[in-house]
Every structure is written in C-alpha cells, then in structure tokens.
C-alpha cells in the first residue's frame, strides 16, 4: 500500500502558485460569505484565510447573522460581483434553512464562482467546456494525476451523488475517459459495485461504511468522508483494514481535505488571470 498524500501534493501546488504570484507581483482576492456561526464552517474558513494570506492573496470574511434575510445576502453578492477588486466569491455551506441555497449560489457571477456550483459552471463541466470546477472533485483528479494514476479506461465507482462531490466527479471522470458507476443511498447491494472498482471514491459521511471485503485487491481508494466523533476524525473507509489490500489509499485526515483548499486558491488565481487578461 502507498499513501495518496494530499498534504505533500498541496504543498507542491501552493509553492508553485506562490512563485507565480510573487513573480508577477499580483494580489488575487477571495471573499467568503458566512451566514450564522457553524463551528465546522469557522474552522474551514480560518483554514482558507490562512492559506490565502500565506500565498499573498487578499482575503475578506463577510459575516451575516443566522436570521438575516435572503435580500441582504443577494445584495452583498451583487456588490461583490461588481467590485473589480474582488476575484473569487464563495458562500460557505451550510446556510440556515430559511434561505434558498440554489438562489444564493446562482447569484454569484459564474466568472467569480470559485466553488464551481452555479448552474452555468455545472452545465459547462457536463459539456466538457472550460469552467471553474468544484474544489474537492477537482482536487481528487489532481491528486490522482500527481500520483501517477492513469484514469482512461478505468472502472471508477463513486459512492455518493451530492452536487458538491459525487455529481461533478461523474463529469470529471467521464471527461477523462473512465467508465463510471454511481452508487447512493438507494443502491441495492453496494458491495457488488465497489468490489469491482479500479478506482473507488467514497463521499457519504458514514464512518467506516467501506470495509475490506468491499474493495478490489490492488485498487485505488479515495476517501472523501469526514466524520467527527468524540473530537477525532474518521473517513468513510475502514482505513486500517483496507490499506493492506489496495495499492493506493488516501488517509483521513491528510488526503482529500488538503487538496480542496489548494484547488480553491488555484481557482482564485484562475479568476484573477481571466478577469485581468493575464
């Protein structure tokens, strides 16, 4: 078994990006909107801020109270869309139930949508057109590429069909000529699918859903799951028992998570380049 080391690949990617930013003497900027005070969101935003500042980017954290109105958020997004000093815009999920997630995400102009969640970017991805791609799925493909895993012709099984992870991955793997199967909560006999996967990606949010008998020998396993139990982090894969059967596996933490934030900053830099014709 070899580790798919997200921390190492993240460092390499961000070093490369920092060199570009320093050499060009530019300052790409990211604005993050937070609604409410979700504790996991606080950690994720701090992490984004730290990474952005270390790179030499500008970072703006805009906070709204839990009971704010949808209009307040939409007005703020309009202002950021029209502000030439702002490149990337994202709304940290989850947001309070009284707000319409789709309406809010789609208000971000697609050229600044660094989370790749607007209908325009999702549609472009499906049609294999140049676009901003959701960070976690993009990070998974990058991690495989950087680790020398070839995708064309592979039998890829994705467990989970969320719009954040599973669905964009379908397009990304198809666009890379893989044969793709998607499993979800209503799939009967999950194991029949997972045990035939050359590349298995699991994005569910259930500790140790995937056990050793469910994976193919010498396959590649990507564990996206983050399950916080009693202050400890677990993936969706029973890592200790699966790791000796497969050829490559991501740890949790230290696998997909670091790649997500690296791809976000890559997206911010792409927006800067696109908006400034550089």
Which active-site residues does the annotation give? 48, 92, 115
Indicate whether 55 belongs to the interface with ligand NAD (CB under 6 A). Answer: no
Q: Give 113's DSSP letter.
A: B
Of 28-36, 46-54, 115-123, 155-163, the segment contacting ligand NAD by CB under 6 A is 155-163
Indicate whether 225 belongs to the interface with ligand NAD (CB under 6 A). Answer: yes
Using CB under 6 A as the binding rule, the residues of this chain from 56 to 95 that contact ligand NAD are: none
Q: What is the DSSP string of 212-271?
A: GGGS-TT-EEEE---EEETTEEE-SB-HHHHTTTSSEE--TTTSHHHHHHHHHHHHHHHH
Of 105-113, 117-125, 126-134, 200-208, the segment contacting ligand NAD by CB under 6 A is 200-208
Angstrom distance (rounded) from CA 43 to CA 261 = 12
Indicate whether 190 belongs to the interface with ligand NAD (CB under 6 A). Answer: yes
Of 9-17, 70-78, 101-109, 158-166, the segment contacting ligand NAD by CB under 6 A is 158-166
Q: What is the DSSP string of 79-93?
A: HHHT-TT--EEEEPS
Angstrom distance (rounded) from CA 103 to CA 119 = 10
Tokens standing for residue 24? 């060009």
Indicate whether 17 belongs to the interface with ligand NAD (CB under 6 A). Answer: no
Chain-centre distance of CA 211, in angstroms? Answer: 24
CB closer to ligand NAD out of 119 and 177: 119
Strands ordered across the beta sheet of 220-223: 2-3, 248-249, 220-223, 199-202, 155-159, 179-183
- Collect all residues with Cβ–Cβ distance below 8 Å to 110 and sequence separation of at least 6: 118, 120, 121, 131, 132
CB closer to ligand NAD out of 86 and 197: 197
Nearest distance from C-beta of residue 226 to ligand NAD, angstroms: 4
Indicate whether 116 belongs to the interface with ligand NAD (CB under 6 A). Answer: no
Nearest distance from C-beta of residue 83 to ligand NAD, angstroms: 28
Indicate whether 176 belongs to the interface with ligand NAD (CB under 6 A). Answer: no
Contact predicate 236/222, CB 8 Å: no
Of 31-39, 49-57, 64-72, 162-170, the segment contacting ligand NAD by CB under 6 A is 162-170
Binding site for ligand NAD (CB under 6 A): 136, 159-162, 164-166, 183-185, 187, 190, 203-206, 224-227, 256-257, 260
């Amino acid at each position: 078994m070899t580790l798919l080391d997200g921390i190492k690949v993240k460092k390499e990617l961000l070093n490369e990006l920092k060199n570009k930013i320093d050499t060009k003497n530019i300052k790409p900027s990211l604005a993050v909107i937070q609604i409410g005070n979700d504790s996991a969101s606080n950690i994720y935003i701090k992490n984004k801020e730290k990474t952005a500042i270390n790179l030499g980017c500008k970072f703006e954290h805009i906070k709204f109270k839990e009971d704010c109105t949808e209009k307040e958020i939409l007005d703020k997004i309009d202002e950021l869309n029209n502000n030439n000093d702002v490149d990337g815009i994202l709304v940290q999920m989850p947001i309070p139930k009284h707000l319409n997630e789709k309406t809010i995400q789609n208000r971000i102009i697609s050229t600044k949508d660094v989370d790749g969640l607007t209908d325009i970017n999702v549609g472009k991805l499906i049609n294999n057109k140049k676009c901003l791609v959701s960070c976690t799925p993009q990070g998974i493909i990058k991690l495989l590429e950087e680790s020398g895993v070839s995708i064309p012709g592979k039998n890829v099984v994705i467990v989970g069909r969320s719009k954040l992870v599973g669905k964009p991955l379908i397009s990304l793997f198809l666009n890379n000529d893989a044969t793709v199967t998607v499993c979800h909560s209503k799939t009967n006999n999950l194991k029949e699918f997972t045990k035939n996967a050359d590349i298995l990606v699991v994005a569910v949010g259930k500790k140790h859903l995937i056990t050793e008998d469910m994976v193919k020998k010498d396959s590649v396993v990507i564990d996206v799951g983050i399950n916080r139990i009693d202050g400890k982090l677990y993936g969706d894969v029973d890592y200790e028992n699966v790791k000796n059967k497969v050829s490559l596996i991501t740890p949790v933490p230290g696998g997909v998570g670091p790649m997500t934030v690296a791809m976000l900053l890559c997206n911010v830099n792409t927006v800067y380049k696109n908006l400034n014709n550089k």
